[in-house]
Structure 1
């Protein structure tokens, strides 16, 4: 009887095992009524599980981790798809060039621009520091237009014509050339130590009025319409200059109209000493020219002529 019971038990276990093996798949171990939801990749034989399957969730989690670890797509700074730039003419602080405090050159026409503008750039007479025989370049008319748009200006309010932009660029360039000539007059005080000063960087501070401009305002004078700070490379030594631009009235034929107040910033003893010397010279010789003795001497001698 024991043998009969043992034989019956083995037979039952064998039947159950056979039934289980017949009703499952070797790849998944799942019943056949679930196999209809599976798909198999013919190239690598991998099985794709339904979205409700826990194994599918594990695969999705691994895929998300791999995607997060992948490097993000980098777009150009002027591309509208950039996450930091919401529109074509907006640049982020990371795009600003520290040498001139300007974003990368944008030579593309604005979306609502009424006319095309030239993109040619004029080379200045201002030498660039850190390079041999290299000079700063002025912005093109298109670059100047885009720069004004970035600052909030809208052309419909001014109703500019193409000729007006050409005049604006020429006035801008003439003012900078004049400013550099004034800087060279100050640098002549140090010609013995550096005979080749160069402009390293510059930036505009239109609303950051200098103490001198505020004192002049208290005395009844108008405030400057613009201010620049220039960093001059004096053969390895950095010297900061402050330039105030005042309205000079009508534009001259050479496109000069601004009155410039150029002087070294009082942020070093050398600059303070330079300004003290020049102030003394101006007071001394202006006083001498205004004196009656100097006027009489000049009247008696008269201008010298060569026969």
Structure 2
């Protein structure tokens, strides 16, 4: 059975055939709000292609029920099952660390989405409605940077993204024709659906051996408003490069350089 929210099959918590090591079944709640229109009676899986909706029934007490409105990351066991299903050989003893890094990267991706969203009325209450993993599909921007790296290797990096996601965001809009409230909440809250493209880059490890990633998070060019947003952001970065403290061009991949901390 395929989950329509993340286009992935549901993954059980049972151990995979041939698995030798016990992996934790506990799942971590993310900080990423889940759109009410995509909600169900149980927490959904994280915004990466490893999810499952086989979590237990939603808690009944009011304090705990608020957790249902957040996306939930997969357990290490579910994560490992996803890797096995894809045919990837992964040391079982590394899975828990991989899950920690995976969760941290998605928290950073959401933080970057929020920076875009909070520029708009109601954007501070935007939520993630659905996502699609597209690791085999190069985004137009990634393809452009790879092409330019062949012509201008000192200014562009010839690094291919190791993953791509498309996230669909629901941004609350004013209630009613002349309304100004963004706080009605629930499945009846009016919203505008916006798509974001996220390219994930793995950079060389730092001097201490910690992994370093670069996330390129931006609105998908689905309409004129998104084009205007992207151009405005590009111009801000260009001014910072020329007049700011960056000191000139960089051949790092596009996006935000982030580092996994231990």
8 A contact 1:126–1:199 mirrored in 2: yes
8 A contact 1:121–1:138 mirrored in 2: yes
The structure 2 residue matched to 1:276, chosen from 213, 231, 234, is: 231
Please give the residue correspondences for 1:83-122 in structure 2 after superposition, counting only pairs within 5 Å: 95-122=1-28
Cα 1:249/1:194, change in 2 over 3 Å: same
**Partner residue, 2:72:** 137
Q: Which runs of 5+ in 1 are unaligned?
A: 1-94, 293-307
SS in 2 for 1:189: coil
8 A contact 1:174–1:256 mirrored in 2: no
In the superposition, the TM-score normalised over structure 2's length comes to 0.68
How far is the alpha carbon of 1:242 from its aligned partner?
0.5
8 A contact 1:204–1:226 mirrored in 2: yes
In proportion to residue count, which structure has more helix? 1
d(CA) in 2 for partners of 1:244 and 1:234?
22
**Are positions 1:263 and 2:218 aligned together?**
yes
**Partner residue, 2:97:** 167
How far is the alpha carbon of 1:112 from its aligned partner?
0.6
**Are positions 1:178 and 2:133 aligned together?**
no
**Are positions 1:227 and 2:128 aligned together?**
no
Q: Which runs of 5+ in 2 are unaligned?
A: 40-64, 150-157, 173-190, 248-262
d(CA) in 2 for partners of 1:167 and 1:206?
21
Cα 1:107/1:251, change in 2 over 3 Å: farther
SS in 2 for 1:219: helix
How far is the alpha carbon of 1:104 from its aligned partner?
1.7
d(CA) in 2 for partners of 1:142 and 1:285?
44
**Are positions 1:202 and 2:137 aligned together?**
no
8 A contact 2:11–2:81 mirrored in 1: no
How far is the alpha carbon of 1:248 from its aligned partner?
2.1
Cα 1:252/1:204, change in 2 over 3 Å: farther
Cα 1:267/1:250, change in 2 over 3 Å: same
d(CA) in 2 for partners of 1:151 and 1:291?
41
Aligned residues between the structures: 191
Cα deviation 1:64-90 (Å, max 9, x = unaligned): xxxxxxxxxxxxxxxxxxxxxxxxxxx
8 A contact 2:114–2:123 mirrored in 1: no
d(CA) in 2 for partners of 1:102 and 1:240?
19
User: Relative contact order (C-alpha < 8 Å, sep 6+): which is higher?
Assistant: 2
d(CA) in 2 for partners of 1:272 and 1:256?
33
**Partner residue, 1:242:** 197
Cα deviation 1:106-128 (Å, max 9, x = unaligned): 10001111211111000000000
In the superposition, the TM-score normalised over structure 1's length comes to 0.58
In proportion to residue count, which structure has more strand? 2
Provide runs of 4+ in structure 1 moved above 4 Å: none
**Partner residue, 2:117:** 187
8 A contact 1:175–1:256 mirrored in 2: no
